[in-house]
Amino acid sequence: MPELPDVAIYVEALRDRVMGQCLERVVVRNPFLLRSATPPLDLAEGREVREVRRVGKRIAIGLEGGLWLVLHLMIAGRLHWRKSAPKTVPRNVLALFQFSSGVLTLTEAGSERRAALHVVAGEEGLAALDAGGIDAINAGEAAFAAVLGSANHTLKRALTDPHLFSGIGNAYSDEILHRARLSPVALTLKLTDAEARRLHQAVRDVLDRWTDRLRAEAAGGFPEKVTAFREGMAVHGRYGQPCPDCGAKIQRIRYRANETNYCPQCQTGGRLLADRALSRLLREDWPRTIEELEALKRR
């Protein structure tokens, strides 16, 4: 799922291309994409773009008259920019937005249709789609700590909860926790003040670093290589590979379709966290340390 750094770069690229331009036509090719009925989508046509902003993991395109088109790409949705409409429209294109400056297309890989388009009126309509999480990059230490301590969750859950923090998902939460040297299953209410400060700084460092890096990679072009797995990440998507800081093998916790990656040496004092699938299978034989895991593999 595109997270804050990816969405921020999408927003910047769209601002460069559609601000002050007319939205001439919108074609929705999959009925499941449009998740709102009022205002009707056709009201957006013929209006000038006045603003483009990020709302959590959503991209909001503001039109004259206070109308907003709000896109949520979910896991597999991606945006593409062309100077003109394609002669043949691929099956994975869910919608086309024809601006006076070019065409924005929304695609979604796979068979599940999770991407969403809402049409809302005014700031109130836009606010209704905002889960309310704070911008952790710009929030001060006190505000960050207050939100972190508002409920007792694991750090992984807290960072990825859009009601607490805006725009952080599975990939960058792994990177943040590795940078902060904190376990993904540590509880928010048990953090020391020093650990909370370290986590806050890690959020800012990781999100700023990756936003800058993705901006440099785009180099003024439209971002086309948006993915949750990027070369240069420390732990996310790197199960079984060496930690770039200590060399220990990256481990994982799997739950349904989600996977948390972490370094046991850097984050959990060498202790392995129970993976639901494997720990059910191994029961009391579940290894507690990296050394026990390696010994088990050699049996």
Per-residue pLDDT tens digits of the chain, which is 299 residues long = 799 999 999 999 999 999 999 999 999 999 899 999 999 999 999 999 999 999 999 999 999 999 999 999 999 999 999 999 888 888 899 999 999 999 999 999 988 889 999 999 999 999 999 999 999 999 999 999 999 999 999 999 999 999 999 999 999 999 999 999 999 999 999 999 999 999 999 999 999 999 999 999 999 999 998 998 999 999 999 999 999 999 999 999 987 668 899 999 999 999 999 765 544 433 444 455 555 545 444 44
Report pLDDT for 279. Answer: 47
- Contact assessment for residue 48 and residue 64, using Cβ atoms and an 8 Å cutoff: yes
d(CA 259, CA 47): 42
Start and end residues for every CATH 1.10.8.50 domain found in the chain: 141-292
- Contact assessment for residue 26 and residue 96, using Cβ atoms and an 8 Å cutoff: yes
- Contact assessment for residue 108 and residue 80, using Cβ atoms and an 8 Å cutoff: no
Question: What top-level class would CATH report for the domain 141-292?
Answer: mainly alpha
- Contact assessment for residue 188 and residue 271, using Cβ atoms and an 8 Å cutoff: no
d(CA 128, CA 68): 12
Q: Of 175, 57, 174, nearest to 114 (Cα)?
A: 57
Q: Of 169, 164, 166, 178, nearest to 226 (Cα)?
A: 169
Degrees, nearest 5: CA angle 9-250-286: 135
Report pLDDT for 291. Answer: 55
Encoded tokens for 4: 């804050």
Report pLDDT for 1. Answer: 79
d(CA 72, CA 79): 11
Cβ neighbours of residue 269 closer than 8 Å, sequence gap 6 or more: none
Q: Of 237, 243, 244, 274, nearest to 259 (Cα)?
A: 237
Query: pTM to 2 decimals?
Result: 0.91
- In DSSP terms, 48 is beta-bridged to 22
Report pLDDT for 90. Answer: 86
Start and end residues for every CATH 3.20.190.10 domain found in the chain: 4-127
Residues 4-127: name the CATH superfamily. Answer: MutM-like, N-terminal (3.20.190.10)
d(CA 109, CA 87): 20
Encoded tokens for 32: 């499941």
Report pLDDT for 288. Answer: 57
